[in-house]
Amino acid sequence: MSTNNHHLTKERLRFGYGETSLGTVIVAVSSQGVAAILLGSDRRRLRGELAGAFAADAFANVELIEDEAGLIETIVKVVAFVDAPHLGLDLPLDPRGSELQLAVWQALRAIPSGETRTYGAIAAALPLPATAQDVGAACAANIIAVAIPCHRVVKSDGSISGYRWGVHRKRRLINMEGVA
């Protein structure tokens, strides 16, 4: 710790990459747990998306440090989980968001693997007043892919709509869990 009070101590987030059946994954870890799991096909683009996510207010004082070697056990667990989400992820998570986002994400984590819920049903069950659109916005803001299972949320007619990491990945995740 610096004795210089002019500089706030930056929180260090370590990150690394892995390869899954759904594409490349970037995993970022704080001292509290997994803070981000992002899916994509291009490491440079994923690194930019990660930096963008941590430029938001909740992460205004974060330093990103690439440490694939130091995170290898975590990355291996995340890759195995993305490839078989019904097995669950035995790692602590460190989600950051508004009170409403955190409530939505908690509700998503309660949806059993192999099941889906509608945006409206989740909104109605929340402890805070929320609309289906609020739930959709919280899903769009989620940066912990699969572990906070936004892919388990569908439209009221049962159809699959937007997914931050592509509708094709959402459909594959739902199908992968359906065989569990």
Annotated catalytic sites, by residue? Answer: 150
- Rounded Cα gap, residues 30 and 59, in angstroms: 11
Please tell me the chain's helix, strand, coil percentages from 3-state DSSP, rounded to the nearest 5: 40, 20, 40
- Rounded Cα gap, residues 132 and 120, in angstroms: 4
Q: How far is CA 106 from CA 14, 47, 90, in A?
A: 24, 26, 16
